Amino acid sequence: MAANRISPFAILLFLLISIPLLEIYLLISVGRVIGAGSTVLVVIVTAIIGAWLLRLQGLHTLAKVQSATEAGKLPAVELVEGVILLVCGVALLTPGFFTDAIGFIALVPNIRGRVAEGLLRHFLNRPGVHVDMRTQGHQPNTIEGTYRRED
């Protein structure tokens, strides 16, 4: 019996409707407390700070990809972190407080790394695929020698 799963389309539709409504609610609520001009200024400042931090983290992640590649390792986690940073950039440049909070949380390297590893485990650990994050990038042991076939 197959488990009842929510379709990805339903999740996406829910997010595309609920996140803008939440953002509108938060912008109106904050605007009532600190004023409309101050609210717009806060949104602009968080976008600028977020873009600057995103650039720094992006360059750091790119350096990690290059060092892993030079060491002969597959930079899978680092590449997923790059995708997370891309989504984080979109969130930070989207006007609103909720998306800014999500974007700033994704800028924390430890959190982003754990999310990337979790995503890799979730999407790659399927039947017939084995991923061990601890041994990723290590070459299997090779035993050199000669053999002779005797029939």
Q: Is 79 part of a structural domain of the chain?
A: yes
Terminal alpha carbon distance of the chain: 52
Range of the domain at 117: 46-132
- At residue 27, the pLDDT reads 96
CA angle (79 as vertex; 75, 81 as ends), nearest 5: 120
Q: Is 38 part of a structural domain of the chain?
A: no
pLDDT tens track of the chain, all 151 residues? 456 788 989 999 999 999 999 999 999 999 999 999 999 999 999 999 999 999 999 999 999 999 999 998 889 999 999 999 999 999 998 999 999 999 999 999 999 999 999 999 888 876 655 555 554 444 555 566 777 788 7
What is the number of domains present in the chain? 1
Q: Is 75 part of a structural domain of the chain?
A: yes
Q: 118 with 77: CB under 8 angstroms?
A: no
Q: 133 with 121: CB under 8 angstroms?
A: yes
Q: Is 94 part of a structural domain of the chain?
A: yes
Is the alpha carbon torsion for 143, 144, 146, 149 positive or negative? positive
Q: Is 18 part of a structural domain of the chain?
A: no
Q: Which of 112, 65, 64, 63 is nearest to 85 (CA)?
A: 112
Report in angstroms the alpha-carbon separations of 148 from 10, 142, 143, 144, 145.
62, 18, 16, 14, 10
DSSP string, 112-140: HHHHHHHHHHHHH-STT----TTTTTPPP
- At residue 17, the pLDDT reads 96
Q: Tell me how far apart the alpha carbons of residues 58 and 87 are, in angstroms, rounded to a whole number.
A: 12
Q: pTM (2 decimals)? A: 0.74
Token pair of 147 as six digits:
């053999």
- At residue 123, the pLDDT reads 83
Q: Is 40 part of a structural domain of the chain?
A: no
Q: Is 104 part of a structural domain of the chain?
A: yes
- At residue 137, the pLDDT reads 47
